[in-house]
């Protein structure tokens, strides 16, 4: 753990402690837990968690070289938190060719066929309990779009060929894994696709393509949530700000503000509505006069948080001294999400 990180954490401990007397609610509990973890980090840089058996699992994915995965790993490493990529969750009734679903289970766009999507939504038997043995919290990373056959009200493919990005194998893994995690009250953090999966599992409705959605509203979209593609070049994250709407939320305890600056954003889909679900919208952002959902929580669970952005990208930009790092949230503010999940994991383990 770097001296830079330890110094930042000392400052954050003081902030947490100064805020403890401000309000007597669940937020105080989280502030104290995180603060205690940070003091431990200063005393033992090799293991900031009291119980060395605490482990955060990162949901399986077939492309471990993706920055949506490697950035998460690097962030937890910088925090001194033990992580592992989870084994793949496979449905007992489905056939696999190695790690991939047989192609009989999905269409030409790699969208899970409705018959099998219905089986997944019904909770088909799987190896998920075995996969989660010894795991105290789970992270769901960014990535592909989620099959619209998995929505509570299934929809056809959006039909945009340049946005054809589905992975039926990963959809089965993530849907079954997240359903089990929520049902068993295991702390979890979902980012980007991870938040969208939280919405889908919970029965929320989805915007399949933000530019199309804004066009239907008669509004001009300026790609605030994902930069337009550069042919042959790197498409970086788009920074924008987020309004925290709920001061009794886990998110507010993490951010310690009602206005989060410079979240790294990289998505063309979004959650449209959580009406009729157990989810609570805890953060939004104004985009051309449209309130877009940026964070969701399950308040009936210990720690279930979905965010539509990528704090891990901000952490890595600061670690690697990217020229545009200052356009995004600070190293400390990005790291706070992962320290909060680690704190929840420790409570879960004990």
In DSSP notation, 227-239 reads PPP-TTS--PPEE
CA atoms within 13 A on the CB side of 4: 10
Is 227 a residue whose pLDDT tops 70?
yes
Question: Considering Cα of 174, then 177, then 180, then 182, what sign does the dihedral take?
Answer: negative
Q: Report the pLDDT value the prediction gives residue 316, as an integer from 0 to 100.
A: 98
Is 225 a residue whose pLDDT tops 80?
yes
CA dist., res. 113 & res. 115, Å (int): 6
Neighbour count for residue 286 (Cβ, 10 Å): 13
Q: Report the pLDDT value the prediction gives residue 231, as an integer from 0 to 100.
A: 77
CA proximity to 87, closest of 99, 74, 76, 103: 99
Is 35 a residue whose pLDDT tops 80?
no
Q: Coil, strand, or helix at residue 308?
A: coil
Q: Who wins on pLDDT, 48 or 148? A: 148
Looking at every residue in the chain, the average pLDDT score rounds to 88
CA dist., res. 179 & res. 173, Å (int): 10
**DSSP label at 161?**
G
Q: How many residues does the chain have?
A: 350
Domain count, the chain: 1
| Cβ partners under 8 Å of residue 147, min gap 6 | 106, 111, 112, 117, 166, 168, 171
Q: Kindly report the pTM of this predicted structure.
A: 0.86
- Identify the bridge partners of residue 205 per DSSP, sorted by sequence position: 273
> Range with the lowest mean pLDDT among 34-38, 249-253, 295-299?
34-38
CA dist., res. 276 & res. 89, Å (int): 28
pLDDT digit string (tens) for 271-314?
999 999 999 999 999 999 999 999 999 999 999 999 999 999 99
Is 6 a residue whose pLDDT tops 90?
no
Report, in angstroms and rounded to the nearest whole number, the Rg of the chain calculated over CA atoms: 20
Q: Report the pLDDT value the prediction gives residue 53, as an integer from 0 to 100.
A: 63
Is 23 a residue whose pLDDT tops 70?
no
Whether the Cβ atoms of residue 138 and residue 57 lie closer than 8 Å to each other: yes
Whether the Cβ atoms of residue 176 and residue 91 lie closer than 8 Å to each other: yes
Whether the Cβ atoms of residue 321 and residue 2 lie closer than 8 Å to each other: no
Q: Report the pLDDT value the prediction gives residue 196, as an integer from 0 to 100.
A: 98
Provide the pLDDT confidence category of residue 82 given band limits of 50, 70 and 90: very high
CA dist., res. 149 & res. 166, Å (int): 11
Is 8 a residue whose pLDDT tops 80?
no
CA proximity to 40, closest of 2, 73, 80: 80
Q: Report the pLDDT value the prediction gives residue 52, as an integer from 0 to 100.
A: 56
Domain ranges, residue 192: 3-349
CATH number of the domain that residue 192 is part of: 3.40.50.880
Is 50 a residue whose pLDDT tops 80?
no
> Range with the lowest mean pLDDT among 46-60, 66-80, 83-97, 326-340?
46-60
For residue 139, which phi and psi values (nearest 5 degrees)? -115, 135
Is 228 a residue whose pLDDT tops 90?
no
Is 79 a residue whose pLDDT tops 50?
yes
């Amino acid at each position: 753990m770097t001296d830079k990180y330890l110094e930042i954490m000392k400052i954050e401990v003081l902030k947490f402690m100064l805020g403890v007397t401000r309000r007597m609610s669940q937020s105080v509990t989280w502030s104290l837990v995180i603060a205690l973890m940070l003091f431990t980090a200063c005393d033992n840089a090799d293991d900031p968690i009291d119980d060395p058996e605490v482990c955060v699992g990162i949901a399986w994915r077939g492309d471990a070289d993706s920055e949506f995965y490697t950035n998460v790993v690097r962030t937890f490493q910088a925090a001194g938190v033990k992580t592992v990529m989870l084994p793949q969750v496979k449905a007992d009734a489905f056939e696999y060719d190695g790690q991939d679903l047989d192609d009989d289970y999905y269409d030409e766009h790699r969208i899970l066929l409705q018959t099998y999507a219905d089986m997944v939504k019904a909770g088909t038997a799987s190896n998920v309990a075995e996969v989660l043995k010894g795991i105290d919290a789970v992270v769901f990373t960014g990535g592909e779009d989620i099959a619209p056959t998995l929505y509570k009200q299934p929809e056809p493919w959006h039909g945009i060929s340049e946005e054809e990005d589905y992975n039926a194998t990963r959809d089965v893994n993530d849907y079954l894994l997240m359903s089990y995690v929520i049902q068993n009250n295991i702390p979890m953090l979902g980012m980007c696709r991870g938040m969208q999966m939280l919405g889908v599992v919970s029965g929320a409705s989805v915007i399949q393509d933000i530019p199309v959605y804004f066009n239907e509203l008669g509004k001009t979209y300026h790609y605030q949530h994902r930069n337009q593609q550069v042919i042959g070049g790197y498409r970086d994250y788009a920074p924008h700000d987020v309004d925290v709407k709920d001061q009794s939320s886990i998110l507010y305890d993490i951010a310690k503000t009602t206005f989060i600056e410079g979240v790294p954003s990289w998505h063309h889909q979004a959650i449209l509505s959580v009406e009729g679900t157990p989810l609570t919208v805890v953060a939004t952002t104004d985009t051309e006069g449209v309130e877009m959902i940026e964070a969701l929580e399950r308040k009936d669970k210990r720690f279930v948080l979905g965010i539509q952005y990528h704090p891990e990208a901000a952490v890595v930009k600061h670690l690697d001294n990217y020229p545009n790092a200052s356009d995004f949230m600070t190293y400390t503010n990005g790291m706070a999400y992962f320290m909060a999940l680690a704190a929840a994991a420790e409570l879960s383990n004990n």
